[in-house]
A and B are shown apart, each in its own frame.
Chain A
Amino acid sequence: MIQVNKLTKVYNGVTVLNLPLLTIPQGESFGLVGNNGAGKTTFFRLILDLIEASDGEVSIEGQKVMRNDSWKTMTGSFLDEGFLIDFLTPEEYFKFVGKLHHKSEGDITEFQDTMRDFFNGEILETKKLIRDFSKGNQKKIGIAAALIGEPKLLILDEPFTALDPSSQIRLKRFLTDLQTRFNMTMLISSHDLNHVTEVCKRIVVLEKGKVVKDIETGEDTLKELEAYFAV
């Protein structure tokens, strides 16, 4: 699904990301962990072609992402509030994104209904603009919008932070469900080792832009990670 080749990103002479080779196969749930400044968000932005690689390339389904539009049809993503259009109501936003994926009004309403459980009654039919919602609810809106086009690839940056405990549990269930039902490829970064080991089958640890661990999730993974991050 994703092929990373000799990817480096240099800011002012400092290499913030250096990934010689990384392959993420279709249907894999890929968890990315690392302390602040490890290069997680930089990696995601490079995949989404929001920053220019200093060297190397990323391909999605064999297509290089750089200056290319074709990967956008199969990719859903939510990194931060910049991925929302905050002067719309949630319904307007979902409709807008849905139309970009050539969905009918009926499809979009149906989609919203499947999200009701996740939204916990706080988002739809409130007539509020997205900018007036709390951070947690904005995150829910962003994650939902990323799913409208039935993406093959989903990229989420720290989806669990700012969510309340119930929503975190719902989101975990929801993501696992998407994996089993649609075989969706997922890239999830998180600071919460518990959540990420529960949701992802493969965990990659970044430190200063380099992969230091690449492990299949098993029974001991959480312990191994905790040991690694212990100070």
Chain B
Amino acid sequence: MLIIHLVSQEWKKNVRAQGFYRNLAVSLLLGIFALYMSVIFLFLGFSLNELLEKAHNTLNPTELFNGGMLYILLCGLAIRFFMQQLNTVNLPPYQVLPIKRSSLINFLLLKALFSPLNYFLLLVVVPFAVKSVVGYYSAAVAVRFVLSFIFVVWFNSFMASFLKRKYGSNLLSFLLVIAVLGVIVALEYFEVFSLFHVSKSVFGFIVFKPYGLILPLAAASFAFLLNKWFFAQNFYAERFNRKMQGDKVFNANLSFLDRFGVVGELIALEIKLILRHKRTKSMLYLSAFFLLYGLMFYTQPVYASNSGMLFFIAMFMTGLLMFMYGQWVVSWDSAHFDSLMTKNVPVKTYLSANYYLLLSFNVLCFVLTTPYFYFGMKIVYMHLAAFIFNTGVNIYLLLYLCTYNTKRIDLSKASAMNYQGTTFKSFLIVLPIMFVPMILVTVISTFFSMTVALWVLTILGFAGIVLRQPILKLCVNQFNNRKYKLAEGFRQGE
């Protein structure tokens, strides 16, 4: 009975959240994306048997899959550790009501298992089990195979939430996890220690023996009890919250910015904002990943002839931070927007500060991507053109268009895959910035040549740099016109 109430209250919380309907467009787009991924996964599931049959000459696909299971488990755990949002019920209002605490905690923990995202990989596993495992062994083994996978998902979900609650995800744990995974892969590669063989025998036992399923079920229960233990240890929300908020306050010396006057002060403020909030920090980590995009594309001969695509990658990487930060350049200040608008900050100064911040991000990313110059002069020219185009054109587009993002951004909510504050407009802002140059390059290089295309973009970029003052003036006017809409939107919480 109680559980039903809790479930219905959670549902109301979601449906009654402001902006639920306004965000329908975003949800729709995400839905289409999910559908697309589902199709790909299903396709993979049906073709996995053939792929694995070709992969090894002595082991059959099921054995190979079992060998990979511990890797899947570990990677899943790592991904969950960083991406999975901790389930929270706002405890205090319930704590004072006559509800048994253990029911609350059970609800909190079990709720996570009902997220459909958990079972996404079943789209691969079930077709594979039906097609391959049944074929090689029997239906009973196939059922156990699928069940063992589900138990692994449960184990991962519980374990990740325990580890995350206990240790929190910060840069150190991030590096640690990456290092551990790296070591395991290295040991396997140099044939010192094979996790593959361990995994093959463990999961062989689980899948082929009738009572083998006890093992993963026991592991999942153990992880569940670990969570219970954690909550028993941290009975009071106060102690629990201290753990969550215990992030160290960034306190580096930014006094070198003092000499730039009010603009410098504003930039220092934005840097503190970035380093003192979860959402912005995870944006930085994510950017580090995206910087490696070039390795994927520049090494593929398929893309070498596709100049539009290559330029897209070059522009994306050289302007990475600028795009990630810039698409919400005013919205980051949404919580203290009224403050900035009534304090002695002229609009022009405010926008100039943001301009210089974006500019420095741009320079930073350009410098960080210089190792790609190793891939040849073509890349050098492309990165240079992209850098100049970003500096002279895209930077202003961001400053101008960001004024259409009128939703408050909650900086305290963390991490990747966080779409809070994203509306349909946010997509409309980014699309032209990302794709117009790509189309431009494709068209010009088809009719003339890549060199001409790059020169056109470079000249556009230089024009933008020279015309900085009048263009910024335009942005100031736009900001002044949109100011009331922004202030009104930012005052409305979720």
Q: Do A and B bind each other?
A: yes
Listed in ascending order, the chain A residues whose CB lies under 8 Å from chain B are 48-52, 67, 69, 72-73, 75, 77, 79-80, 82-89, 92, 96-97, 99-101, 127, 129, 132, 149
Most central of B335, B411, B488 by chain A CB within 10 Å: B335
Establish whether residues B483 and A67, one from each chain, have CB atoms under 8 Å apart when the complex forms: yes
Known: A99-B265, A100-B265, A101-B344. A82 touches B338 (CB 8 A): yes
Listed in ascending order, the chain B residues whose CB lies under 8 Å from chain A are 245, 249, 258, 262, 265, 269, 272-273, 276-277, 335-339, 341-348, 411, 480, 483-484, 487-488, 490-491
Which 6 A-B pairs give the minimum distances between C-beta atoms? A82-B338, A69-B346, A52-B484, A85-B336, A100-B344, A67-B480
Known: A48-B342, A72-B343, A96-B269. A82 touches B335 (CB 8 A): yes
- Apart from A83-B342, A88-B272, list 13 A-B contacts with CB within 8 A: A48-B342, A50-B484, A51-B487, A72-B342, A72-B344, A82-B491, A85-B336, A85-B339, A86-B335, A96-B269, A99-B265, A100-B262, A100-B265
Establish whether residues A83 and B484, one from each chain, have CB atoms under 8 Å apart when the complex forms: no
Give me 20 A-to-B residue pairs in the complex whose CB atoms sit less than 8 angstroms apart, sorted by A's number.
Answer: A48-B338, A48-B341, A49-B341, A49-B342, A50-B487, A51-B484, A51-B488, A69-B346, A69-B347, A72-B343, A73-B344, A75-B342, A82-B338, A84-B336, A87-B272, A88-B269, A97-B343, A100-B343, A127-B249, A129-B276
Report Cα–Cα, A133/B386, bound state, in Å: 46
Residues of B within 8 A of A96 (CB): 265, 269
Residues of A within 8 A of B483 (CB): 49, 67
Establish whether residues B273 and A87, one from each chain, have CB atoms under 8 Å apart when the complex forms: yes
Report Cα–Cα, A170/B345, bound state, in Å: 30
Report Cα–Cα, A69/B476, bound state, in Å: 12
Q: Which of A73, A83, A86, A99 is within 8 Å of B338, CB to CB?
A: A83
* CB of A176 to closest CB in B, whole Å: 24
Residues of A within 8 A of B276 (CB): 87, 129
* CB of A102 to closest CB in B, whole Å: 8
Residues of B within 8 A of A50 (CB): 338, 341-342, 484, 487
Report Cα–Cα, A127/B277, bound state, in Å: 17
Report Cα–Cα, A83/B338, bound state, in Å: 5
Establish whether residues A79 and B338, one from each chain, have CB atoms under 8 Å apart when the complex forms: yes
* CB of A170 to closest CB in B, whole Å: 24
Looking across the interface, which residue of chain A has its beta carbon closest to that of B491?
A82
Report Cα–Cα, A64/B125, bound state, in Å: 68
